[in-house]
Amino acid sequence: MAGRPFILVARSKEDAAADCAALASFGIEAVGVPVLCARQLADDSPLPPGCQAVLYTSRRAVRPHHASSGLPAFCVGPGSAAAAQQAGFRQTHAGNAGAEALAELVRARLAAQDGPLFWPHGEQTAFDITRPLAAAGFATQEAIIYRMQRAAKLPDQLDRLLQSGRPAALLVASAGQLGGFAELLKEAGLWHCAKGLVLLAGSQRIAAAVPSGWQDIRLADNKSHAGLLALARDWAERQDPAEPQD
């Protein structure tokens, strides 16, 4: 393979654009591939009586009427924390290494006897945060308030890029994103191009959604999104061909 490396970012349109901009700031060519979009569902689930905190494992679940309760928000990362603050939450606590780390943060800051927790989330979740919390004695009420839907097709001209012979990688932050991209690739008759892609995933659990067919699989050192972007940056820098020396 020859030429400048590039990274496909298979996420929602907004998230892909943000990641592409972040990678571009390091001089890395990145192409957004919107594979999922959020469809909001009716949200009339009241907070449980005596609720002591709201948990957010995605910024898509943040709602202003949750903030009106005056409760603190425990967020999976800085993105969801920023969304919570924008929605009106005055007190936010942000993790930085995925939902498992968020559960640890909740256990460290809250006491189970002080009341139940409220967890609004999407129809599909990568990690069931209620399990580790239940093991620590916490009761958690859930509410499904949005659904991620797969895009109808891959972006135009992506086939030419995939078949260009340039070093290429695929960045995904969830199993749903990876599965959606693989399905779209197969439907477009381009699954053979997967063997030219290095999969950059945030965890083994994500990579396991489509564990074969790729040129290689690389996992982030930690489960934060910053760790995933650092993995992408490291891969791209290692692919850039060095100038020949006379």
pLDDT value at 234 more than 60: yes
pLDDT value at 243 more than 50: no
CA distance 140 to 88: 22
Domains in the chain (CATH in brackets) are: 6-36+152-239 (3.40.50.10090), 45-147 (3.40.50.10090)
161 Cβ neighbours under 8 A, 6+ residues apart: 6, 31, 168
pLDDT of residue 174: 86
Distances in Å between the alpha carbon of 54 and those of 14, 63, 80, 187? Answer: 24, 11, 12, 39
95-126 residue pLDDT tens: 876 788 899 999 999 999 999 999 999 888 87
57-103 residue pLDDT tens: 988 899 888 888 899 999 998 889 999 999 999 999 998 767 888 99
SS3 109: helix
pLDDT of residue 241: 55
DSSP of 76-119: SSHHHHHHHHHHT-S-EEE-SSHHHHHHHHHHHH--GGG--EEE
pLDDT of residue 97: 67
Q: pLDDT > 70: what percent of the chain?
A: 95
Token pair 């030429």 is at which residue? 3
Can you give the pTM of this predicted structure? 0.74
pLDDT of residue 205: 87
pLDDT grade, residue 2 (50/70/90)? low
175-193 residue pLDDT tens: 889 999 999 999 999 999 9
SS3 16: helix
Task: Tell me if 196 sits within 8 A of 34, measured CB to CB.
Answer: no
pLDDT grade, residue 245 (50/70/90)? very low
pLDDT of residue 244: 42
pLDDT value at 197 more than 70: yes
pLDDT grade, residue 147 (50/70/90)? confident
CB atoms inside a 10 Å sphere around CB 120: 23
pLDDT grade, residue 240 (50/70/90)? low
pLDDT value at 136 more than 50: yes
CB atoms inside a 10 Å sphere around CB 214: 21
pLDDT value at 246 more than 50: no
